[in-house]
Amino acid sequence: MSYQIYFRLLGYVLSIAMHISNLLYIQYAILSANVSEGSMENFGTGTFKNMEYRYFTTWTAGLQIGYAALGTLCDLLVLLNRHKENYRLPKYLGSSREIIFAGLVWPSSWVVFTVFWTLLHYDRSLIFPAYLDKIITRLSNHVIHTMIVPVVVWEVMFWPRKPKSHYRNIAQLAIHMLAYIFVLHFTYHEHGVWLYPIFKAVQGTIHFYLLHFYVAAMCLMFYRLQWWLNSVIHGVEDVEKIRFIDSAVGRFSYRKWFTWAMLHERSQSRI
């Protein structure tokens, strides 16, 4: 039996402990926050308190906790049955573990990390207004926006994988993101508040729609990143199954360029 299973279990235990303790601390901070009645701080903290579970960051922390629990169950079953020859996990457990991590936990964690820190350094009012410092400390902030990346990288380091279907994983990721987009827009229509101020800033412009596109593109980019990293660390090649993304993009780009070149040449000849 590979030593990697013990490192995975260590990662699961630490991940669960980290996230649960941090979420409990945030709840305590919300209840004890000292803000003035009728102030922007009161409105902002009230919105966060009432809609905490609608934030994508909260969804991602929940995914990491749930996945760590599932991973612990799977690896404990393997350890308990290590004396049985050719023991394999029940099919539904193994497939669920794969799709939840590859299609949900990994890309979601990287999207949260990238979007949050990029916007925070550009203009924090677009993603994390200053009044939230009263309920989310710097340490808590790093737990939910920074440490989520080492958690998933640790998993890739100690879990060699070869996917059965990229289409299934990407379909699950698409469903997850569409579900969140629905929650985001439903919250706005229900309460008149965007969970993330950047949507208010770009509402009514082309950037509002481009923002959705950028996030979708990041999801696909980060999805692919895990398999490249997996091949680098474990030497597991899976190039053929993932080429459909590159080949489709490549064919589209070439055809688009070729069509433009032909039309441009004809227009020049007419002149």
Q: Give the number of other Cβ atoms within 10 Å of residue 175's Cβ.
A: 12
Q: Is 203's pLDDT higher than 90?
A: yes
Q: Which of 45-54, 148-157, 195-204 bottoms out in mean pLDDT, i.e. has the lowest?
A: 45-54
pTM for this predicted structure: 0.84
Helices 4-32 and 40-50 pack at an angle, to 10 degrees, of: 140
Q: Is 201:126 a contact under the CB 8 Å cutoff?
A: yes
DSSP state of 136: S
Residue 113 contacts residue 150 (beta carbons within 8 Å): no
Query: How far is CA 199 from its chain centroid?
Result: 19
Question: Cβ contacts of residue 80 below 8 Å, gap of 6+?
Answer: none
Q: What is the dihedral of CA 105, 110, 130, 132, to 10 degrees?
A: 10
Q: What is the pLDDT of residues 7-47, one digit of tens each?
A: 999 999 999 999 999 999 998 888 877 655 445 556 667 77
Q: Quickly list H helices, 51-157.
A: 56-80, 91-100, 106-123, 138-145, 148-157
pLDDT greater than 60 at residue 202: yes
Q: How many angstroms separate the first and last alpha carbons of the chain?
A: 74
Task: Decide: 110 and 218 in contact? Cβ < 8 Å.
Answer: yes
Domains of the chain, residue spans: 4-237, 244-271
Q: What is the pLDDT of residues 76-134, one digit of tens each?
A: 999 999 888 888 899 899 999 999 999 999 999 999 999 999 999 999 999 999 888 88
pLDDT value of position 254: 40
- Gap between the Cα atoms of 100 and 10, Å rounded: 19
Which residue bears the tokens 């612990």? 72
